[in-house]
Structure 1
Amino acid sequence: MSFYSPLFKNYLLIVLSIVLLYASYPIQAKMTAVDKNSVAQQNRQSLNNKKLRLKPAPTASTSSRNHVIELRGKNTPSSQTVYSFIKKPTSPAALQYLPTIVAASKQWQIDPALILAVIHTESAFNPNAVSHADAIGLMQVMENGGALEVSQQLYFGRRIEREALFEPEFNIDIGTAYLHILETEYLHGIHSEKSRTLLAIAAYNCGLSNLMRYLSYTQSIQNFTKEMNSLNDEEVYFRLTQTLPIEETRLYVAKVMKLYQHYKKHLTNTL
């Protein structure tokens, strides 16, 4: 067969096409892997873009990460904090932070009404609020609690400075990211969206380890998820607000949910 014959040219084109097809396959596979991680990368980039003040911290082990979840709340049931219910829970300060709240809502896929309810309950919209446990700012984020959890999962373990948590935009971003982690990383197996939200609210207050220990007498997320899925939304709410032996969290869940419904109603025509 001549090198210049039409038959040879056709044969050569077929061989080259096959080679190019296989050569491009790893690139396509690599792009698919990148696409799967694009959301996580965008979330990390959003923190980078804020030019936050960060300091290095050692990478946490699995056991220390489990401990981090406990740091948001107390290790034993307590009745020290009592939340008073507000008949007309409307705060002009909510409007001041609404653009930041909406941005965080879109970034982390958390209802803006829920973010407002948590801020209202945690700090009454005071960006300089500091609790006796050193929870800081609008969403009462703890440097060694929610902030550390977010930095481990979304910022490669780099620790966030305490002073940065007083910045309203950053505090809202970190607090909302922590709610996102609770719902999507730890409670993603909860079938009901409402139950998942209720449990995330409770865990935000007392810590997920404490919640599992006192609500379900387990430290296994699989066992906890299985038991919670055996309950309907009303039963989960009843347990969280009536039988959970941590009074602070019982009152906290009830108040946040009441404010959540209020803000859902009033934000309908605002957003």
Structure 2
Amino acid sequence: MRSVKTVAILSVLLLAGCASQSHKQANNQQQTPLTKAPPHKVAQAWSLFTEDAAHNYGIDQKLVDAIISVESGGNPTVVSKSNAIGLMQIKASTAGREVYRVQGRHGQPTNSELRDPVKNINIGTAYLKILQEQPLAGIRNPETLRYATIVSYANGAGALLRTFSRDRDRAIAMINAMTPEEFYQHVQNKHPAAQAPRYLWKVTTAYRTI
């Protein structure tokens, strides 16, 4: 049986050919070098780790795979201008710190931890679980919950819920009165962050192709 380290190396090599030129730019630009790699290829490359994390946290594996595809294109070395790191582009001081807090740990992940594919996927998946169990708790339709999780991963749950109401319970009730299609269009038309509609579209498109 191949070791985890061997599988990780093979996973990187599987996609490395798609990114040889972009790797040179990763240190001075916000890049996702493997965004041209098909989402299903990215999903295959990291499936050993995403399957394990998704199972442990009760999260849809395809959602984890789609976020990795959009955030980093499957390249664990990517670091953005805002210091979001690795496969799921995690910021240590925000999502990383929140995961540590919920897990009863002090501080936040180190940059070295976030560059580790296994730890990065685990922290990112744990953060998805936090979003679904805390600010987004109560959204009944699974498709709507997926859309809400995607938007909240990129721009925060608070910004999303405030497009409905400043009262969380009222916002959740309003969301539950919508179809998934109506919720999707609400994000497209009402979210204050210009990135949010594009991100929702990108991750949803990747999700449907995996």
Q: TM-score, normalised by structure 2?
A: 0.78
Within 2, Cα distance between the matches of 1:93 and 1:211?
Answer: 28
Within 1, Cα distance between the matches of 2:121 and 2:83?
Answer: 17
**Corresponding residue number in structure 1 for 2:126:** 177
Query: How do 1:10-49 residues align onto structure 2 when only pairs under 5 Å count?
Result: none
Within 2, Cα distance between the matches of 1:253 and 1:100?
Answer: 24
Within 1, Cα distance between the matches of 2:116 and 2:88?
Answer: 11
Of 111, 118, 128, which aligns to 2:67? 118
Within 2, Cα distance between the matches of 1:100 and 1:140?
Answer: 16
Within 1, Cα distance between the matches of 2:191 and 2:135?
Answer: 20
Within 2, Cα distance between the matches of 1:88 and 1:101?
Answer: 17
Q: Percent identity?
A: 29
Matched, 1:135 2:81: no
SS of the equivalent of 2:75 reads coil
**Alpha-carbon shift at residue 177 of structure 1 (Å):** 0.6
1:229 alignment partner AA: N
1:149 alignment partner AA: E
- List per-residue Cα deviations over 1:192-211 (Å, max 9, x = no partner): 11111110110000011222
Matched, 1:234 2:156: no
Matched, 1:168 2:168: no
**Corresponding residue number in structure 1 for 2:195:** 248
Of 152, 164, 167, which aligns to 1:216? 164
Could you say if the C-alpha distance between residues 87 and 133 of structure 1 is closer, same or farther in structure 2, counting changes exceeding 3 Å? closer
**Corresponding residue number in structure 2 for 1:109:** 58
Query: How do 1:146-157 residues align onto structure 2 when only pairs under 5 Å count?
Result: 146-157=95-106
**Corresponding residue number in structure 1 for 2:22:** none
SS of the equivalent of 2:118 reads helix
2:65 alignment partner AA: L
Aligned residues: 178
Unaligned runs of 5+ in 1: 1-80, 264-271
Could you say if the C-alpha distance between residues 125 and 88 of structure 1 is closer, same or farther in structure 2, counting changes exceeding 3 Å? closer
Could you say if the C-alpha distance between residues 88 and 134 of structure 1 is closer, same or farther in structure 2, counting changes exceeding 3 Å? closer
Unaligned runs of 5+ in 2: 1-29
Partners of 1:151 and 1:159 within 8 A in 2:
yes
Structure label with greater radius of gyration: 1
Partners of 1:137 and 1:171 within 8 A in 2:
yes
Q: TM-score, normalised by structure 1?
A: 0.61
Cα RMSD for the two superposed structures: 2.1
Within 2, Cα distance between the matches of 1:104 and 1:244?
Answer: 30
1:205 alignment partner AA: A
Of 167, 187, 200, which aligns to 2:136? 187
Within 2, Cα distance between the matches of 1:90 and 1:206?
Answer: 22
**Alpha-carbon shift at residue 191 of structure 1 (Å):** 1.4
Partners of 2:87 and 2:120 within 8 A in 1:
yes
